[in-house]
Amino acid sequence: MHMLKTLIVAGAATALATSAQAAEQYKIGGGPTGGGWHPAVSAGAQMLNAELKGKYKFNYSPSNGSVDNVRRVSLGDFDTAWGHVGQVYQAWNGIGLFKKDGPSKDFRIIANVRKQSQIIAVLADSPIKSFSDMKGKVVSLLNKGSGSNVNCVNVMKGVGIHDQIKARNLGFAASARALGDRQIDVFCSAGTPFLIPALTQLSITKPVRYIGMTEAEQANLVKQSPFYAPVTIPVQKDVKGMNAPARSISYDVFWVANKRVSDGAITALLSTIAKPENLKKLTATARYWKTLNGDFANLVSVGVPVHPAAAKYWEGRGYKIPASVAKGY
C-alpha cells in the first residue's frame, strides 16, 4: 500500500512537471532603458504570464528599439515585439536598413499599438527657429538601433541638412539632460503622440520649444517615405515654453509576431492584453497601452499582412479588416 501511494505521488509529480513543460514558450522583445517601450512591454509580459500560466509563457527581453525588434522577430530570435511601420515595411521588402537581410515574409502584424509623431525640440531661448538654423549645430538623433533614430535621420535627410549637423546618439534621458545642460542644441525623438516624458519634465525648469517643418519640407519627407503621414502638433500645455504648433510627421507602431507563434497563442495574447479592464490596468502603468487597437487600414498601401488569428480577434471586437490585409504564411 505504501509503495502504491509512493507511485501515485510520483506519477502525479511527473504529470505536473510534464504539464508545466508543455507550456508554449515565447520571447517578447521590449525596448531600451529610459524609453517608454521597456516598462510598457515588460508590464504586458507580466500580465500575460499571470493570466495564462500553465499554457503560454512570455519571456521578456529588453532591446535596442524598433530596428532591433523587427529584425529579431523576422529572424525568429524574438517571437513578438513592437516596431515602427517604417522598419516593418523595410524588413518585409528587404530595403533600407534591412537590405543586407533580404526580404522577410516570416512575420505578421497582430495589433496597432498607437500613432507617434516625430518631435524636434530646442530650449525656448535658443536662436534656432527652423531646420536650416540647425546647420553646424549639435543634434541628438537618439540611440542607433531605435526607431526614433531612424526617423530622426529620415527627417534630417528629408529637410536636406543631415550632412550639415553634428550628430550625437544619446538615449532619451541623456538627450534631455544634455539639452538642459546645453551640451546639445537640438533633441530629436519620437513622441507619444506629441510628448516625450523626459523633455516635458525638463521644460518645468528649462522651457523648450518644438521646431516645425515648412509645408514644403513636410511634403518632401512624406513623398520620400510613403509610410509617413503629415501632422501638425498642437501646442502642448504640459510643455512649458511651447507657444506655437509645429508641422511634423506621424506613423504607426505595430505589434508584430513571428510565424513560430501558434494561432492559439496569438488569440490568447490579444484576448488577455486587449481586454478593456486589462488595458485600463496596463495604461495606469504605461500610457503606451491606452490606444491598442485593430485599425489596419494603412497596411493596404504598405503591403504587410495581418495574422489571420489577429484579424479574427479584432473583427470580433467590431473592427473592419480590409479583405486584402489578412493573410497566412
Say what the pLDDT of residue 21 is.
56
Q: For 26, list phi and psi in degrees, rounded to 5.
A: -135, 150
**In the predicted structure, residue 233 carries a pLDDT above the cut 70:** yes
Domain annotation covers residue 188: yes
User: What mean pLDDT comes out for the span 52-80?
Assistant: 95
Same domain, 267 and 238: no
Q: Which residues contact 178 (CB under 8 A, 6 or more apart)?
A: 140, 168, 170, 184, 187
User: What mean pLDDT comes out for the span 106-111?
Assistant: 98
Same domain, 133 and 220: yes
* Number of structural domains the chain divides into: 2
Say what the pLDDT of residue 54 is.
81
Domain annotation covers residue 109: yes
Q: Is 228 left (phi over 0), alpha (psi -120 to 50) or beta?
A: beta
Domain that holds residue 288: 23-114+253-316
Same domain, 63 and 171: no
Domain boundary among 232, 251, 270: 251
Q: 323 falls in which pLDDT band (50, 70, 90)?
A: confident
**Region of poorest pLDDT, from 150-159, 201-210, 295-304:** 295-304
Same domain, 120 and 227: yes
Domain annotation covers residue 1: no
Domain boundary among 251, 278, 293: 251
**% residues pLDDT > 90 (the chain):** 78
Same domain, 95 and 151: no
User: What mean pLDDT comes out for the span 182-188?
Assistant: 98
Domain annotation covers residue 241: yes
Each residue's pLDDT tens digit, 171-181: 888 999 999 99
Each residue's pLDDT tens digit, 68-102: 999 999 999 999 999 999 999 999 999 988 999 99
**In the predicted structure, residue 14 carries a pLDDT above the cut 50:** no
Domain annotation covers residue 10: no
Average pLDDT of the chain? 91
Say what the pLDDT of residue 20 is.
47
Say what the pLDDT of residue 4 is.
44
User: What mean pLDDT comes out for the span 101-129?
Assistant: 96
Q: The domain spanning residue 292 has which CATH number?
A: 3.40.190.10
Same domain, 124 and 231: yes
Say what the pLDDT of residue 12 is.
45
Domain annotation covers residue 279: yes
**In the predicted structure, residue 207 carries a pLDDT above the cut 70:** yes
pTM: 0.80
- Residues 235 and 217: their CA atoms lie apart, in Å, by 20
Say what the pLDDT of residue 33 is.
77
Say what the pLDDT of residue 285 is.
87
End-to-end CA distance of the chain: 55
**In the predicted structure, residue 18 carries a pLDDT above the cut 60:** no
Say what the pLDDT of residue 46 is.
97
Same domain, 201 and 126: yes
CB atoms within 10 A of CB 67: 26
Same domain, 130 and 239: yes
User: What mean pLDDT comes out for the span 216-238?
Assistant: 93
Domain annotation covers residue 98: yes
Domain annotation covers residue 324: no
Domain boundary among 251, 270, 285: 251
- Residues 158 and 120: their CA atoms lie apart, in Å, by 14
Same domain, 122 and 75: no
User: What mean pLDDT comes out for the span 159-163?
Assistant: 95
